[in-house]
Amino acid sequence: MELAKVTSKGQVTIPVAIRNLLGIREGDKLLFVEDGKKVVLMNASTSALLKAQEEFEGVAQELGVQNEEDVVKLVKEIRAERGAQYKCE
């Protein structure tokens, strides 16, 4: 458990152990999530990544992507399709 003091301006210094745990670096944005009577502090970048992972869960299987080579092949296919679209417009 870590303790921090709030200044008159509402500022708090996040303890080093907590910054390290959450991967918080200078300039990062923090997310405060209400959970009943608790507030959970999260690194906003990490939160966005986790949300993206949840949203994309299962998509790789649906597309048949199993490894890095499959990802590269898929990216090339998409780029080729988009390039063809721009030539037609």
Q: pLDDT of 1-11, one tens digit each?
A: 899 999 999 99
Mean pLDDT, rounded, for 28-55? 83
**Which range among 51-55, 59-63, 74-78 has the greatest average pLDDT?**
74-78
Tokens of 38: 């608790």
Indicate yes or no: pTM above 0.75. Answer: no
Integer angstrom CA distances of residue 5 from 2, 9, 13, 41: 10, 11, 7, 16
User: How many other CB atoms sit within 10 Å of the CB of residue 83?
Assistant: 9
Residue 86 binned pLDDT confidence (cut-offs 50, 70, 90): low
